[in-house]
């Protein structure tokens, strides 16, 4: 089986490649850090499965186009796994979504084997989040277990009144990351704004 990984994060991409190269059924793993570089690599078109982090510019278009071009499944592997992001990926042609927050070498191997065999792969936690989001009374359900440490840290500081820039400095993140995390939290809590997300989180004891 020939695989291809498209991920902008050098260390994580190399880790994925190292993990995948250990699988006995895998003969090669190509890699690229951007969507254009992936298209430049002839190995992409020979791939039996492609993993891509959909935070990359152009990644959503890439999902369908790469699936069409290779005739193979394309699976998203990302830290950004809000309901919206997962739905967008699946609607754009992804055969599955793996969340880096919970991904292990074992779940990666299982997911790759399942996806290569034509099965859709979405982890149970992501699926539960998606279904909760679709339920009419989804908002207000207890979701403490679904806020990551990073989301709790960011939301706690926002709740204390710190602006985005201060939160970024305090936690040693970029402002872009803080905004992305807040977007994920707002979506995850079914809120319409940051302030509503904070109010909900305080009320439910999430922070």
Partner 1 sequence: MLGDVPRVLLGNLEPIVRLGMVAVLEEDGADVIGHEERPQALVLMAARQQPDLVVLDLLERSSRPLAERVRVAAPDATVVLWARDEDAMEVLDPGATVPRRLFTELADELRRTLRGARAGRTTE
Q: Residue 145 has what DSSP assignment?
A: G
By the rule CB under 8 A, 28 interacts with partner 1? no
Pick the binder of partner 1 from 12, 43, 90, 138 (CB under 8 A).
Answer: 12
Q: Name the one range near partner 1 by CB under 8 A: 43-51, 83-91, 98-106, 157-165.
A: 98-106
Q: CB under 8 A: which stretch of 16-24, 56-64, 126-134, 184-192 binds partner 1?
A: 16-24
Residue 19 structure tokens: 């993990």
CA 125 – CA 67 distance, rounded (Å): 25
**Using CB under 8 A, which of 24, 42, 104, 203 touches partner 1?**
104
CB of 36 to partner 1, least distance (A): 18
Q: How far is the CB of 78 from partner 1 (least distance, A)?
A: 9
Site size toward partner 1, by CB under 8 A: 26
| Residue 149 in contact with partner 1, rule: CB under 8 A | yes
Binding to partner 1 in span 174-193, by CB under 8 A: 174, 176-177
Which one, 137 or 149, has the nearer CB to partner 1?
A: 149
User: What is the C-alpha to C-alpha distance for residues 207 and 194, in angstroms, rounded to an integer?
Assistant: 14
Q: Are 204 and 143 in contact (CB under 8 A)?
A: yes
Q: Starting at the earlier edge strand, list the strands of the sheet with 28-32.
A: 28-32, 2-6, 49-52, 74-78, 96-99, 121-122
Q: According to the binding rule CB under 8 A, does residue 31 interact with partner 1?
A: no
At 204, give phi and psi (nearest 5°): -90, 0
Let me know if 177 is exposed, middle or buried by CB neighbors in 10 A (0-12, 13-18, 19+): middle
18 contact partners, CB below 8 Å, separation of at least 6: none
Of 28 and 196, the one with the shorter C-beta distance to partner 1 is 28
- Residues of this chain that interact with partner 1 (CB under 8 A) are 8-19, 79, 100, 103-105, 108, 149-150, 153, 172-174, 176-177
């Amino acid at each position: 089986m020939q695989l291809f990984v498209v991920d902008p994060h050098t260390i994580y991409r190399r880790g994925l490649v190292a993990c995948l190269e250990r699988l006995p059924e895998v003969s090669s793993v190509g890699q690229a850090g951007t969507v254009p570089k992936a298209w430049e690599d002839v190995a992409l078109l020979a791939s039996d499965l492609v993993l891509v982090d959909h935070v990359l510019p152009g990644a959503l278009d890439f999902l369908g186009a790469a699936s069409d071009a290779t005739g193979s499944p394309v699976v998203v592997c990302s830290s950004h796994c809000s309901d919206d992001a997962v739905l967008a990926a699946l609607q754009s042609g992804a055969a599955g979504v793996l969340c880096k927050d919970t991904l292990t070498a074992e779940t990666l191997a299982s997911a790759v084997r399942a996806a290569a065999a034509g099965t859709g792969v979405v982890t149970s936690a992501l699926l539960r989040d998606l279904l909760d989001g679709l339920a009419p009374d989804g908002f207000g359900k207890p979701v403490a277990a679904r806020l990551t440490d990073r989301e709790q840290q960011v939301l706690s500081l926002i709740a204390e009144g710190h602006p985005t820039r201060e939160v970024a400095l305090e936690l040693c993140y970029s402002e872009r990351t803080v905004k992305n995390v807040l977007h994920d939290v707002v979506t995850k809590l079914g809120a319409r704004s940051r302030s509503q997300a904070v109010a909900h989180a305080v009320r439910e004891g999430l922070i």
